[in-house]
Chain A
Amino acid sequence: MYSRWRLCRIHIAGGFNHFGSHRLASTEGARIGKKFENMNQIKDFLSEPVWSVHEYLATNVGEEKLKLPPVEVLKKLLRLSGLPLEGADIEGIQMRLAKQLSFISRLHNIPVNGEEEMKEYDARLMKRKTTRLSYEKLLEGIDHQTQDVELGEVSGSWKATGLAAESKNEYFLVKEGLLKNRK
């Protein structure tokens, strides 16, 4: 099947690097593939029909076997989400939520081949094994700290608020509503 993990590092005009990732997996496992070189490759990759959501939903799991979330939990979730309770199709929502949960739990159960151990904290796109930092390297790193004017690190070398549409006495401005009247 379509078992692929892809890591891409796309160079975008303007110069900064952006990491993106695609995780495609099936019950057969997952892996990290070759990196993408350009936008067309990504478009091609995404345009291939590789899987179907039905694979994980009703066709594989019979509705009668679904474990429905309790009505009380559902009502609480609706309240938290700011959705109306009145007139809500509770049974319909229960069924939809149950399907989504079943889908997620299937995703969680996909075997990930090639890794002896998978930990929550390893779920990221960086090397899992890094070089050890020795005492000497630590002190060397501390001694060689330099401020880079190109990164705005020299105090007063640039005006931070100069980029803001509004500022006051060198402060950035935030309208109070944004901070205090949040839901």
Chain B
Amino acid sequence: MLRVARCYSLARTKVAHNYSTIFRPEYALKCGLEIHTQLSTRNKLFSQSTNSSTPLVDVPNRHTSFYDIALPGTQPVLNLEAILFAMKLSLALNSQVNSVSQFDRKHYFYGDQPQGYQVTQHYRPFARGGKINLSKELDGIDESSKDISIVQLQIEQDTGKSHYTDADKDVITLVDLNRSNVPLIELVTNPDFNDIKQVRAFIKKYQNLVRHLHISSGDLETGAMRVDVNLSINGFARVELKNLPNTSSIINAIKYEYQRQVELISRGETSSLMEPETRGWTGSSTVKLRSKETTIDYRYMPDPELPYINLAPDVMSRVKESMPQLPDDMMRMLMKKPYQLSLKDAKILTYNSNQNDMYNHKVLRSYYLETFQEFFKLVGEQGSAKLPTNWIIHEFLGDLNKLHVPLIKAQEILPPIVFAEFLKLLHAETISPTSGKLLLFHILETFQRSNCRDRSIPDFPKLIREFELHAIDQVDSQELVSLCSDIIAQHTDDTFIRNLTSGKKRTSLKFLIGQGMRRSQGRIKASEFEKKFKEILDIQW
């Protein structure tokens, strides 16, 4: 397992290294995406059977109704939760929702599609238009701003899952229909991407958006989000890339296909690029799946069993009112005054990775914002915005991860108002940062040892006294001189002193201060040490 991970990371480094060299301006890349997103509704799209959130561990065919496996005589009934979720996404993307949309049948035969057709929206989709804006500031693309426009959003049902096996003598396909009839939204973009950074940024942004709206887990690894890529170079025919299970596959498949086509074009062998084709990703190369000759005729027809979706105007206006602030607006708010967060910190508060059990971005953000407010109530305008940022996002979260204490639990003993008190101690230099770190870790560790049951609010003054953590305001000058002299004697030689006093190697002073902080366990301020060392060594700069 470890070996696989290592190979994978090496491969990634190699590709990343090649990135800047493979794209050539004379071969213009044009890309569009087709993204299928599973909606996390309670039940399935046209039946009320369970839409499981743990598909990887479920017993096969356990969450299947008679409709899901297409027993004769069963009929579809629309799950309205899918309409609500689709409305949220359409509004977030600024798409125009059709007041009347409809379901249609797309026919094709496959083992994991028991009906012989997929119910989708072909003639009148749920919404059309809309965009996602990418920017240099927030998404790290090369252009200062770029809109990726959306063609349409349609609601449709997922198929079952096929597991191919040739372990048996008789080669068979195992079919699990738990996923059959799970609601999906298919989003199609225009071919607006011309750079791989834009593709990566779009996927990340869209993934975060569906998580933010609580309409999907957005996980590529479990198949909750699946991305197909349409790609063409210098106006040649479009190639569709499928079977791309994660972001690195998507990126590597685009790079591979780009290089493959550039080679064909540069050799003048463009006959195979004249007609559209569909290619799959094997993990290291793209292979042809279908060409124009084998295109399937889906024989679309309006579904005769499902009434039109006819939405009253208040559906849009009321859902709009209930929408949360969107991630981009939130990021911009956090990066401006009074918070002034860095892009990285703003992302920690806005992007949900689904990968940290200790906190989620929503709880963390409201904790941060509340603490920030309480802190400024206590210290007034003189407070530094950096203090709550550094102590919550870095120290506090770091401790929680180390001790495996969830934020939601830790809040019971350190609610925002108490954490603001703690920050005030640092602001007033009642304790030094080093002592603050010790104190915070001690409080959380004690809480963890009680199995998060001892919910008493920490008494900071008592703890500071008990552990003698208070900063030393009145440092005994003689004591400080002898401490500094001792450090100089232990850690320096003539060359060191010469380089330091001449100003040739000024950073050496920081080293001495660090030693001082260590010896005093952070209770004497760095500025005191700086002053004293300069005095003793007669440093003039």
Interface residues of A (CB under 8 A from B): 14-17, 19, 80, 120-128, 130-135, 138-139, 141-142, 145-148, 151-156, 159-161, 163, 168-176, 178-179, 182
Instruction: Verify A175–B50 contact, CB threshold 8 A.
Output: no
**B79–A123 touching, CB < 8 Å:** no
Given contacts A151-B74, A173-B174, contact A130 B318 (CB under 8 A): no
Q: Are A160 and B64 in contact (CB under 8 A)?
A: yes
Closest-CB distance, A138 to chain B (whole angstroms) = 5
Q: Which residues of the other chain, A, contact B1 by a CB distance below 8 angstroms?
A: none
| Residues 307-318 of chain B, each 1 if its beta carbon lies under 8 Å from chain A, else 0 | 111111011011
Q: A145-B79, A160-B64 are in contact. Are A134 and B47 (CB under 8 A)?
A: no
Chain A residues positioned under 8 Å from B306 (CB to CB): 126
Any A CB within 8 A of the CB of B303 = yes
Do residues B73 and A126 form an inter-chain contact, with CB atoms below 8 A?
Answer: no
List residues of chain B with CB within 8 A of the CB of A179: 110-111, 162, 173
**A131 contact set on B, CB distance < 8 A:** 310
Please name 23 pairs of A and B residues whose Cβ atoms are closer than 8 Å in the assembled complex, sorted by A: A124-B302, A126-B305, A126-B306, A130-B310, A132-B310, A133-B311, A134-B314, A142-B84, A146-B48, A151-B66, A151-B74, A152-B49, A153-B65, A155-B62, A168-B174, A171-B61, A171-B174, A172-B176, A173-B173, A173-B174, A174-B172, A175-B172, A179-B111
Q: Mark interface residues in B34-77 (1 if CB within 8 Å of A CB, else 0).
A: 00000000110001111010000001111111110101111100
Docked Cα-Cα span, A123 to B75, in Å, equals 19
Q: Which residues of B contact A (CB under 8 A)?
A: 42-43, 47-50, 52, 59-67, 69, 71-75, 79-81, 83-84, 102, 104, 109-111, 123-124, 162-164, 170-177, 293, 301-312, 314-315, 317-319
Give every chain B residue within 8 A of A139 (Cβ-Cβ): 84
Residue of B nearest to A125 (CB): B304
Contact B48 A145 (CB under 8 A): yes
A122 and B65 CA atoms in complex are apart in Å by 29
A145-B81, A178-B111 known; A133 vs B173 contact (CB < 8 Å): no
Q: Tell whether A147 pairs with B175 under 8 Å between CB atoms, given A134-B312, A142-B80.
A: no
Bound-state Cα–Cα, A20 to B84, Å: 33
A153 to B162, CA, bound (A): 22
Contacts of B71 in A (CB 8 A): 163
Residues from chain A with a CB closer than 8 A to the CB of B67 are 151
Among residues of A, the one whose C-beta sits closest to the C-beta of B77 is A151
B175 touches A19 (CB 8 A): no
CA distance A134 to B304 in the complex (A): 23
Shortest Cβ distance from B100 into A: residue: A130
What A residues does B311 contact at CB under 8 A? 132-133
B314 touches which one: A135, A141, A168 (CB < 8 A)?
A135
Indicate which residue in A134, A145, A171, A182 contacts B175 across the interface (CB closer than 8 Å): A171
B65, A124: Cβ atoms closer than 8 Å: no
Name 5 extra pairs, CB < 8 A, besides A124-B304, A134-B315: A134-B314, A153-B65, A163-B71, A179-B111, A179-B173
Q: Once bound together, how far apart are the Cα atoms of A141 and B110, in whole Å?
A: 33
CA distance A152 to B67 in the complex (A): 8
CB distance from B401 to the nearest CB of A (A): 35
